């Protein structure tokens, strides 16, 4: 399959089933420590294109992942690829983020978030106040991340060739104020999505600088992608919890965990049921990462009413009513649907 054949289309112009496909949501992540693992390349023979091992259920057959990489993802639910995004691209994303924060450019539909400890700050908006931007698919420069060929060629290993970009985010984790609000509780990303099946969804999360336990790296519970979606709600933390930062209520805090130490440009791909979170930022600098959730265009929506996701649906409905006052807004599950498709159809790769 030729990665260069990837094309981006306006979802309103995508034909047939593409027009009825996935839309993006408004939302989006500690415990005993174990030794951190650093991102490292995998060396193994490339899987032949005609190889069809029946034991693999979380990865698809192609010539991108090695057998070792596929088995690692099957067992653990995540895979780190070193040095996948160039320094030049990362600097471009950083520059555009700063321009958005200074309101030098307009980004339709973007959500700008602050830490709960500075949410009512009177300071003018800048890159030291904004802690996260979501739904940047309307910004051509930032959305380049989602269409990078070196990213999408790996995404195809999990979603297949018909790819939708569902949820975009640039995280600017702030230095912790001392109240531990910069951490993100352990959660599963599927809690925020009402489309299925989970095995056709993957997140690409790229470090924009060196990330370790000092500035709040990702922490994952390997193998938890093999479980089910667990009930989420706000953790009962002193000091406060950021809006929409739901956490799992009943996971085993003594489960083995891995801290992902990553260098600038390293990218982790992970399953939406993988339990993960991030620690507080103990440094004086901001820790940046950029990410996108992708899904196969063959995914379908499911009604979340009467399920553990109903709480996030109600919360997103309140936020959307406030943000889009006067407009007709419809929620599909916990997904915001306006007049335009919010997920972006990335096209079908030619064979």
- Residue 313's pLDDT is 87
- Residue 82's pLDDT is 98
- Residue 43's pLDDT is 37
- Inter-axis angle of helices 87-101 and 140-147, to 10 degrees? 150
- Alpha carbon distance 292, 275 (integer Å): 17
Please name the residues in contact with 43: beta carbons below 8 A apart, sequence gap of 6 or more: 66, 68
- 267-296 per-position pLDDT tens digit: 999 999 999 999 889 999 999 999 999 999
- Residue 14's pLDDT is 37
Q: What is the DSSP string of 249-283?
A: SS--TTS--EEEEB-TT-EEEE-TT--EEE----S
Mean pLDDT across 84-104: 96
Q: What is the DSSP string of 60-90?
A: --SSSSBHHHHHHHHHHSEEEETT-S-HHHH
Q: For the chain, how big is the Rg over CA atoms in Å? A: 19
User: pTM to 2 decimals?
Assistant: 0.78
Could you give the count of Cα atoms lying within 13 Å of 149 in the half-sphere of its Cβ? 8
Q: Is a pLDDT exceeding 90 seen at residue 251?
A: no
Q: What is the DSSP string of 88-147?
A: HHHHHHHHHHHHHHTTSS--TT-EEE--TTTTT--SPP-TTT--EEE-GGG-HHHHHHHH
Q: Give me the residues paired with residue 205 across strands.
A: 268, 291
Q: Is a pLDDT exceeding 90 seen at residue 5?
A: no
- Residue 315's pLDDT is 83
Mean pLDDT across 233-246: 70
Choose among 218, 213, 221: nearest CA to 252. 221
Q: Is a pLDDT exceeding 50 seen at residue 25?
A: no
- Residue 42's pLDDT is 41
- Residue 40's pLDDT is 43
User: Both tokens of residue 67?
Assistant: 């057998």
Mean pLDDT across 185-192: 94
* 13 vs 327 pLDDT, higher one: 327
Mean pLDDT across 190-199: 95
- Residue 235's pLDDT is 76
CB-CB neighbours of 272 under 10 Å:
24
Q: What is the DSSP letter of 320?
A: H
- All domains in the chain, ordered by first residue: 68-324 (2.60.120.620)
Choose among 305, 14, 284: nearest CA to 163. 14
Q: Is a pLDDT exceeding 80 seen at residue 47?
A: no
* 179 vs 112 pLDDT, higher one: 112
Q: Is a pLDDT exceeding 50 seen at residue 113?
A: yes
- 58-86 per-position pLDDT tens digit: 999 999 999 999 999 999 999 999 999 99
């Amino acid at each position: 399959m030729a990665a260069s054949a990837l094309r981006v289309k306006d979802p309103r112009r995508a034909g047939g089933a593409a027009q009825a496909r996935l839309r993006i949501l408004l939302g989006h992540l500690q415990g005993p420590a174990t030794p951190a693992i650093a991102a490292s390349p995998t060396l193994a023979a490339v899987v032949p294109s005609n190889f069809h091992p029946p034991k693999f259920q979380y990865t698809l057959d192609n010539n991108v992942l090695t057998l070792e990489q596929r088995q690692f993802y099957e067992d653990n639910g995540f895979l780190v690829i070193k040095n996948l995004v160039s320094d030049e691209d990362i600097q471009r994303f950083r520059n555009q983020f700063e321009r958005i924060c200074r309101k030098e450019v307009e980004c339709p539909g973007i959500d700008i978030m602050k830490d709960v400890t500075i949410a009512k700050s009177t300071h003018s908006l800048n890159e030291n106040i904004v802690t996260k931007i979501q739904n940047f698919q309307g910004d051509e420069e930032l959305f380049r991340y989602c269409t990078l060929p070196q990213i999408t060629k790996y995404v195809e290993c999990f979603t297949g060739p018909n790819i939708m970009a569902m949820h975009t985010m640039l995280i600017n984790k702030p230095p912790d104020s001392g109240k531990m609000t910069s951490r993100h509780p352990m959660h599963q990303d599927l809690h925020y999505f009402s489309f299925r099946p989970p095995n056709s969804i993957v997140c690409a999360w790229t470090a924009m600088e060196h990330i370790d336990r000092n500035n709040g790296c990702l922490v994952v519970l390997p193998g938890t992608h093999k479980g089910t979606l667990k009930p989420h709600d706000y953790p009962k933390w002193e000091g406060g919890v950021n809006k929409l930062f739901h956490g799992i209520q009943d996971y085993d805090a003594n489960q083995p965990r891995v801290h992902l130490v990553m260098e600038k440009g390293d990218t982790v791909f992970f399953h939406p049921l993988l339990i993960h979170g991030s620690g507080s930022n103990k440094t004086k600098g901001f820790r940046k990462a950029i990410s996108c959730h992708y899904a196969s265009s063959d995914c379908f929506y499911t009604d979340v009413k009467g399920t553990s996701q109903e709480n996030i649906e109600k919360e997103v409905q309140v936020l959307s009513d406030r943000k889009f006052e006067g407009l007709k807004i419809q929620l599909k599950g916990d997904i915001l649907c306006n007049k335009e498709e919010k997920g972006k159809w990335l096209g079908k790769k030619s064979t």
